[in-house]
């Protein structure tokens, strides 16, 4: 069976050695040595200053909204994983969907301003597939209207824009370290803050709201990362360059195999140092995509419809009247993410693309 992704496992002996350190310390969570070490090393690898590790990427989004004291309406994208919108609703805010740019599949900044009302408190945009939003235009709009900016950077580990980490943009960027991600801790995530004081608040509210043992400062939840998860991250982090290079080679081969077809690979733009987390392909039609998907699944190959459906069409998220987002809705019906992971073999890639190309009329 070939799946859209496959969790990368470090050498078992490396993880076993980290587990031995945990056993010897007797410390499983609550800011243990391994979590502190991973926080430092991930921050150094990414080139960011204020970073807090958390239990998962969904909680990272929730903590970002809470730490910035957001209320009312948050302008967001309909083309993302459902966690992006769910976090807004979970924190008592209202998602206001703005359509996406047809070239980048990120939120279209030219449509943001028309969606701003007196209730708008922030913009929460997703760097889709790790491709950058138009961070300069979004920053300009947010500054003019005194809005906060959060970036869902779940796909952005190691991505750079003009030589700088993509995560430095906005007031807060969030990361997911889920097992399906290019860098993972099995379950985990991170909150990257521009302001040190906001980062300190994230630290407090992820620990039930107290700073020291009995120094309760805020309303909080339990969003801490355990030592077991940090151990996995410490084993994988030194291998990141190797992992990314392997995925780059797979992406390059896909590019070569589909270059003369009707398929369109939404690749990273100029000036971006990419991590090859996904390989999204846009089909000419919904029917073409579904036919290719079925043909692959019949051969025990399982791509993924990232991202389907367009979030503005979900009935439980329609707190107001449905607002059409035609570009997002069309993309959601035509995009398929093809398998890409470190161990994927050349022969398998050729087989995958052969099956797909054989189905397109």
Domain residues of the chain, as ranges?
2-98+105-238, 240-357
Report how far residue 171's alpha carbon sits from residue 244's, in angstroms, rounded to the nearest whole number: 27
With contact defined as beta carbons under 8 Å apart, do 175 and 151 qualify?
no
Q: What is the reported pLDDT for 270?
A: 87
What is the CATH number assigned to the segment(s) 2-98+105-238?
3.40.640.10
Report how far residue 32's alpha carbon sits from residue 25's, in angstroms, rounded to the nearest whole number: 9
pLDDT in tens, 10-30: 999 999 999 999 999 999 999
Mean pLDDT for 219-234 is 97
Q: What is the pTM of this model?
A: 0.96
pLDDT in tens, 256-282: 999 999 999 988 888 899 999 999 999
Q: At CA 152, angle to CA 311 and CA 155, rounded to 5?
A: 100
At 310, the pLDDT band (50, 70, 90 cuts) reads very high
> Cβ atoms within 10 A of the Cβ of 194, count?
17
Share of residues in the chain with pLDDT > 70 (%) = 98
Using a 10 angstrom Cβ sphere, with 0-12 exposed, 13-18 middle and 19 or more buried, the burial of residue 92 is exposed
Report how far residue 153's alpha carbon sits from residue 275's, in angstroms, rounded to the nearest whole number: 12
Peptide bond connecting 309 to the previous residue in cis, omega within 30 degrees of 0: yes
Examine the pLDDT at 319 and tell me if it is beyond 80. no
pLDDT in tens, 86-109: 999 999 999 999 999 999 999 999
Q: What is the reported pLDDT for 317?
A: 77
Q: At the topology level of CATH, where does 240-357 sit?
A: 3.90.1150
């Amino acid at each position: 069976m070939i799946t859209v992704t496959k969790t990368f496992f470090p050498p078992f002996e490396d993880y076993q050695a980290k587990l031995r350190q945990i056993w010897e310390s007797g410390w499983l969570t609550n800011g243990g040595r391994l979590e502190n070490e991973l926080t430092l090393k991930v921050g150094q690898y990414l080139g960011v200053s204020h970073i807090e590790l958390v239990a998962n990427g969904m909680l990272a989004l929730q903590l970002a909204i809470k730490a910035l004291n957001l209320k009312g309406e948050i302008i967001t994208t309909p083309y993302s994983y459902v966690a992006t919108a769910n976090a807004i609703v979970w924190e008592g805010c209202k998602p206001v969907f703005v359509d996406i740019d047809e070239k980048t599949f990120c939120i279209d900044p030219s449509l943001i301003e028309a969606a701003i009302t007196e209730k708008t408190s922030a913009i929460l945009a997703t760097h889709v597939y790790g491709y950058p939003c138009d961070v300069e235009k979004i920053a300009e709009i947010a500054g003019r209207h005194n809005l906060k900016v959060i970036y869902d950077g779940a796909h952005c580990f190691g991505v750079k824009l003009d030589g700088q980490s993509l995560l430095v943009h906005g007031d807060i960027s969030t990361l997911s370290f889920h097992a399906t991600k290019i860098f993972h801790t099995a379950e985990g995530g991170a909150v990257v803050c521009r302001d040190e004081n906001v980062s300190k608040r994230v630290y407090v509210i992820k620990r039930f709201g107290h700073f020291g043992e009995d120094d309760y400062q805020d309303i909080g939840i339990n969003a801490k990362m355990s030592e077991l998860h940090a151990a996995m991250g410490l084993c994988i982090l030194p291998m990141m360059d190797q992992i990314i290079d392997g995925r780059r080679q797979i992406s390059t081969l896909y590019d070569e195999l589909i270059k003369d077809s009707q398929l369109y690979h939404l690749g990273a733009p100029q000036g971006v140092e990419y991590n090859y987390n996904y390989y999204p392909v846009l089909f000419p039609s919904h029917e073409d995509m579904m036919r290719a998907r079925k043909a692959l699944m019949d051969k025990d190959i399982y791509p993924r419809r990232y991202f389907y459906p367009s979030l503005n069409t979900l009935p439980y998220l329609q707190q107001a009247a449905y607002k059409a987002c035609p570009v997002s809705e069309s993309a959601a019906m035509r995009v398929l993410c093809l398998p890409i992971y470190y161990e994927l073999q050349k022969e398998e890639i050729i087989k995958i693309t052969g099956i797909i190309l054989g189905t397109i009329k």
